Amino acid sequence: MPPRSATDAARSVPGPDAEHRPDPRRWRALSVTLVVGFMTLLDVSIVSVALPSLQTDLGATPATVQWVVSGYALTFGLVLVPAGRLGDAFGRRRLFLAGLAGFVLASAAAGAAPSIGWLVAARLVQGLAAGCLAPQNSALIQQLFRGAERGRAFGLFGATVGISTAVGPVAGGAILGLASGPDGWRWLFYVNVPIGVVAFVLALRLLPPGGGGRRGRVDGVGVLLLGAGALAVLFPLVQAEAGGLSRLWWLFGVGAALLAAFVAWERRVVARDGDPVFDPRLVTRTRGYGIGAALGTVYFVGFSGIWLVFALFFQTGLGYTPLQSGLAVTPFALGSATAAVVAGRLVERYGRRLTVLGLAGVMVGLTAAAVVLLLVPPSAAGWAIAPALLLGGIGGGFVISPNITMTLRDVPVAMAGSAGGGLQTAQRFGAAVGTAALPGLFYLVLSATDDYPAAAAAGLAVSVLGAGAALVLGLVDLGRSRAEEAAEQEAAEHEAAEHEAADDDAHGHAHAWHH
């Protein structure tokens, strides 16, 4: 018997879409999960503006303090796919509540950290908890919403992803500005505690029980292969500041071999009608998933790394405070927030065209920002760059939100957790590459030229290249979608013509019989 597709595999799951009864509390439940998602994703970038003061207060080396950012990103990315599968199997509400409790406790521990070692350990646990939460967000949208409502919900989710990453430096700078003093950085973590406690109480009341109905044995071998492979690829990247790329480059080959073994194992599990950690048919047979995940990966290379470049340029190069550095990139956050909300309402109508338009806007905006930094006096850079960042932000708002919707909209509900985890893992891989490559390039150009604007412009150039690669993928998907639409329209017209011919024949026979 031929292997079933991802969609076919989900048809035997109880509770198909046709029997779906809308939960009256679904929009309130969504608001709670989005607040939590915003908080966890904000922690990826909010700490970047505090690294100089944090390094001074704790007496840490630059390589060690970098683990405060990269350690969180590492554990976050490692647990996404297994956590999504566990949510599918044992209940998304249960995984969400457990992850939220762990995140709040780890945030409190990070805020109270007496040493850099304690802080890094707390951040590793915090990343694990955040990784448990993230795939439940997209999976709960699949579970709670259908049709046009699902598109709007994914639009809000995509807006949350884009805004939280972009606004992190602004929020971090504001908190450090209000909580001045040697321990001001601790409030970057303490602020999560009251928000998380309130969210936990609301989630306990509002989130629906149960998962997607696809219960079964968890694939332990798949979890180990995926975790080891992801760790081998990510570890040299998060160690880039300490020379990880030159010392640990051989781990990339090990990681590639382990991930290839993971794919082969998952195919074997599927062939035996088992429950894989990540079903390969999501990539090969679910429309839009594979290319959407690839687009998100290459886009996040530039999108995530550029905030560290801006923080280094404005704080180290121009002497800005963390708050001033955050405010300098506020136009991007404002543009992204506004456009993402609009894109969530338009994605069902315009689809991949929104992504293509947004990527073009990002490329133009970031190219203009690089030119401005090279041409204007450093004293005017913060103001002069604002229009270019606003344009780039508007473009970014039209990228992330529609891409998430387009990538996940045809995924079966029973596989929503692992699919969302897979998509976000791909984005985390891209973010890890970007946060390692862009600051590394910044320092490389700076050491060669002693020119901060040139170093920042080099980082922006890599972001433009990432957006360009994503644009190529978007155009390929757009062309394929148009070809599919044309084929479907031609088939519909052909079927209509056959029906019309059949009706004419029947009418002719009836007329002849009557006479």
Cα 406 from Cα 417, distance rounded (Å): 16
Cα 515 from Cα 207, distance rounded (Å): 69
Residue 224 has what pLDDT? 85
Residue 5 has what pLDDT? 46
Q: How confident is the model at residue 12 (pLDDT cuts 50, 70, 90)?
A: very low
Number of structural domains the chain divides into: 2
Domain check: are 187 and 261 in the same one? Answer: no
Domain check: are 317 and 444 in the same one? Answer: yes
What is the share, in percent, of the chain residues with pLDDT greater than 70?
Answer: 85
Cα 21 from Cα 18, distance rounded (Å): 9
Q: Is 504 or 55 the better-scoring residue by pLDDT?
A: 55
Residue 242 has what pLDDT? 63
Query: Is the CA virtual torsion 421, 422, 427, 432 positive or negative?
Result: positive
**CB-based contacts of 45: which residues, under 8 Å, 6+ apart?**
164, 165, 168, 169, 172, 304, 307
Residue 391 has what pLDDT? 94
Residue 503 has what pLDDT? 61
The residue behind tokens 């990540």 is: 278
Q: Is residue 138 part of a domain?
A: yes
Q: Whole domain around residue 230: which residue ranges?
A: 219-276
Residue 2 has what pLDDT? 42
Mean pLDDT of 117-130: 91
Residue 155 has pLDDT above 70, yes or no: yes
Q: What is the DSSP letter of 409?
A: T
Residue 138 has what pLDDT? 79
What is the pLDDT of the chain when averaged over all its residues?
80
Residue 216 has what pLDDT? 57
pLDDT tens by residue, 38-65: 988 888 777 777 777 777 778 777 767 7
Domain check: are 374 and 463 in the same one? Answer: yes
Q: How confident is the model at residue 494 (pLDDT cuts 50, 70, 90)?
A: low
Residue 17 has what pLDDT? 46
Residue 510 has what pLDDT? 55
List the single range of 163-172, 253-262, 309-318, 424-433 with lowest mean pLDDT. 163-172
**What is the reported pTM?**
0.76
Residue 339 has what pLDDT? 86
Q: How confident is the model at residue 508 (pLDDT cuts 50, 70, 90)?
A: low
Domain check: are 283 and 384 in the same one? Answer: yes
Q: Kindly list the distances between the CA atom of residue 378 and the CA atoms of 13, 385, 452, in Å, as whole numbers in the listed order.
A: 60, 11, 9
Domain check: are 377 and 260 in the same one? Answer: no
**CB-based contacts of 460: which residues, under 8 Å, 6+ apart?**
306, 309, 366, 367, 369, 370, 373
Domain check: are 253 and 201 in the same one? Answer: no
pLDDT tens by residue, 366-424: 999 999 999 998 888 889 999 999 999 999 889 887 888 888 877 777 777 778 878 87
Residue 269 has pLDDT above 60, yes or no: yes
Domain check: are 312 and 461 in the same one? Answer: yes
Q: What is the DSSP letter of 277?
A: S
Q: Is residue 17 part of a domain?
A: no
Residue 511 has what pLDDT? 56
**CB-based contacts of 135: which residues, under 8 Å, 6+ apart?**
80, 81, 83, 84, 87, 417, 418, 420, 421, 424
Mean pLDDT of 341-366: 88
Domain check: are 355 and 253 in the same one? Answer: no
Q: How confident is the model at residue 197 (pLDDT cuts 50, 70, 90)?
A: very high
Cβ pair 141, 150 in contact under 8 A = yes
**CB-based contacts of 343: which residues, under 8 Å, 6+ apart?**
155, 158, 159, 354, 358, 397, 398, 401, 402
Cα 358 from Cα 354, distance rounded (Å): 6
Domain check: are 244 and 291 in the same one? Answer: no
Q: Is residue 38 part of a domain?
A: yes
How many residues appear in the chain? 515
Alpha helix stretches (DSSP H) within 112-191: 116-144, 147-178, 187-190
Q: Which of 24, 129, 368 is nearest to 376 (CA)?
A: 368
Q: Which pair of tokens denotes residue 363?
A: 């490329």
Q: What is the DSSP letter of 414?
A: G
Cβ pair 460, 370 in contact under 8 A = yes
Domain check: are 492 and 381 in the same one? Answer: yes
Residue 249 has pLDDT above 70, yes or no: yes
Domain check: are 489 and 447 in the same one? Answer: yes
Mean pLDDT of 5-18: 42
Residue 463 has pLDDT above 70, yes or no: yes
Residue 130 has pLDDT above 70, yes or no: yes
Q: Which of 430, 412, 431 is nearest to 285 (CA)?
A: 412
Q: Which range in 19-33, 143-157, 468-482 is most confidently predicted, on average pLDDT?
A: 468-482
Q: Is 129 or 479 the better-scoring residue by pLDDT?
A: 129
Q: Is 150 or 211 the better-scoring residue by pLDDT?
A: 150
Q: Is residue 13 part of a domain?
A: no
Which CATH number fits the domain that encloses residue 462? 1.20.1250.20
Residue 471 has what pLDDT? 94
